[in-house]
Amino acid sequence: MAPNPLIEAFTNLVNRIRGLNYIDEATLKEVLREIQRILLKADVSADVVLSITKAIEERFRQEKPPQGITSKEFLLYLLYQELVKALGGEEIPNVNISKRPYRLMLIGIEGSGKTTSAAKLARFYIKRNLRVGLIETDTYRPGAYHQLKQLAEKINALFYGEEGSKDPIAILRHGLEHMQRNRVDLIIIDTAGRHKNEEELLKEAKAIYDEAKPDEVMLVIDATVGRQAAAQTEAFMKYVPIHSVFLTKMDSTAKAGGALTSVIRSGARIKFIGVGEDIDEIEVFDANKYVSRLLGMGDLEALVEKIRAIEEESKIMEEIEEGKINLLTIKKQIDSIMKLGPPLSKILELLPSSMLPMQYRAVMLDEEKVSNAQEMLRRWRHILDSMTKEELLNPDIINASRIRRIARGGAGVTPKDVKELLNYYQLMKRMVNQLKKSRRRLGRLVGE
């Protein structure tokens, strides 16, 4: 995406927060006001803006930053999280085709970008090794037939259209037959955007819907309309079910934020975004990625990962505290440590050092020990991968012959390594059991 004023404003804000010495009441208020200004400028509606900043403010006051995270970093993290939430959450839309042939119908008002997006989608799925066919049912716009035909030729998609025809339903019927005959996996149906009036347009969309019986109706909306996108979505929803939204021209508007949040609030799911006129300028909408870019992340991304891993780690610690400990617990623990990445010395500080075999304890970590510990964790991870679920959940069944089998599963792993891991597990379990009796000492174990 080309640099835009929204990214610039957010990047400046992030840098400012980074430069703060500490966050007092006045600074917090100022930062929140600045966030509001930026979002309003991006055409996000006032109530959404308010709910975002309110959530950040409340969480900043109520939640404690995880261990090792400064309050500045925590504020940035909350900003990131609340923006992602407002943009529909962390989940990435599923763009798999659930059956073959799959019928995808595009609708939208004049100039929203349907025809261009039809070709972009075709290319997107051709790259994923699907046979894709395009049907042009637009009989209103002069040149619609040639526009899509040319695009189809460029990307090697099958094309069907009838130049000069005035009967979109007939074209559709013939087009569907043509595509079935050619064993196409995905059929994309482009429709008209121009019409005598809006009602006629919507009625035609409905008629095409009834005839095509599409598996998915995708509404194409031009993001430059900003928060008006919600009204458009709702108008179409009255005539045909809208399963997903393709938001175009995200590259050429400062109102992208408004378009995104308003579509999401209307209950529709954004699947794709268009980020340029070129046929390859299509992306699956990923709120995480979008917000990362918005905030000029890079190292902020590392921060988010780190906080997530710390949270995961403390969840595991809770499990351990409850006495639910098996090798799966240890597997999860190693995964979260690995996710935190280097420097490992920092990470090992997060672990209660009493849990590590003596030679790896954080208190006396030099570089060599760090890399030894890293190597050990990697080996242990391989070992755990070679175990069956039953063994992970019930380590007591692991006898000598199982140990030999497990060691064979990982390159360079010896039975001694497996025993070392089992010893670590036994040690941890013993300690947990011992210390469970004493809350105070247990508190020290989980690093409280």
Ligand X SMILES: Nc1nc2c(ncn2[C@@H]2O[C@H](COP(=O)(O)OP(=O)(O)OP(=O)(O)O)[C@@H](O)[C@H]2O)c(=O)[nH]1
- Positions that interact with ligand X (CB under 6 A): 108, 110-116, 138, 141, 144, 193-194, 248-249, 251-252, 274-277, 281
Q: For Mg ion, how many residues bind (rule: CB under 5 A)?
A: 2
Nearer to ligand X, 52 or 250 (CB): 250
Residues 42/257, Cβ–Cβ less than 8 Å: yes
Nearer to ligand X, 82 or 138 (CB): 138
Position with the least CB separation from ligand X: 193
Is 115 a binding residue for Mg ion by CB under 5 A? The answer is yes
Nearer to ligand X, 216 or 420 (CB): 216
Cis peptide, bond prior to residue 214, ω within 30 of zero: no
**342-361: which residues touch Mg ion (CB under 5 A)?**
none
Q: In the bound complex, what is the minimum distance in angstroms from residue 56's beta carbon to Mg ion?
A: 41
Q: In the bound complex, what is the minimum distance in angstroms from residue 8's beta carbon to ligand X?
A: 19
Answer with the entry of Mg ion, ligand X, none that 276 interacts with (C-beta below 5 to 8 A by kind): ligand X
Position with the least CB separation from Mg ion: 115
Q: In the bound complex, what is the minimum distance in angstroms from residue 276's beta carbon to Mg ion?
A: 17
Q: In the bound complex, what is the minimum distance in angstroms from residue 287's beta carbon to ligand X?
A: 18
- Sheet with 158-160, strands from edge to edge, namely 158-160, 132-136, 186-190, 102-107, 216-222, 244-248, 270-274, 282-284
Nearer to ligand X, 76 or 275 (CB): 275
Question: What angle do the packed helices 415-436 and 299-321 form, to 10 degrees?
Answer: 70
Q: In the bound complex, what is the minimum distance in angstroms from residue 225's beta carbon to Mg ion?
A: 17
Rg (CA), the chain: 28
Answer with the entry of Mg ion, ligand X, none that 251 interacts with (C-beta below 5 to 8 A by kind): ligand X
Phi and psi torsions of 365, nearest 5°: -75, 120
Token pair 């990362």 in the structure block, residue: 292
Nearer to Mg ion, 205 or 370 (CB): 205
Among candidate residues 167, 154, 87, the one with its CA nearest the CA of residue 118: 154
Nearer to Mg ion, 109 or 309 (CB): 109
| CB-based contacts of 183, cutoff 8 Å, min separation 6 | 101, 131
Residues 282/124, Cβ–Cβ less than 8 Å: yes
What angle is formed at CA 105 by the lines to CA 199 and CA 158, rounded to 5 degrees?
130
Q: In the bound complex, what is the minimum distance in angstroms from residue 291's beta carbon to ligand X?
A: 19
Stretch that binds Mg ion, among 31-39, 40-48, 55-63, 109-117 (CB under 5 A): 109-117
Stretch that binds Mg ion, among 7-15, 114-122, 229-237, 290-298 (CB under 5 A): 114-122
Q: In the bound complex, what is the minimum distance in angstroms from residue 91's beta carbon to ligand X?
A: 23
Residues 214/252, Cβ–Cβ less than 8 Å: no
Cα distance between residue 384 and residue 410, in whole Å: 9
| Residue 8 CA: distances (Å) to CA of 2, 247, 337, 415 | 11, 21, 34, 56
Nearer to ligand X, 110 or 301 (CB): 110
Nearer to ligand X, 74 or 209 (CB): 209
Q: Which three-class secondary structure state does DSSP give residue 314?
A: helix
- What residues make contact with Mg ion under the rule CB under 5 A? 114-115
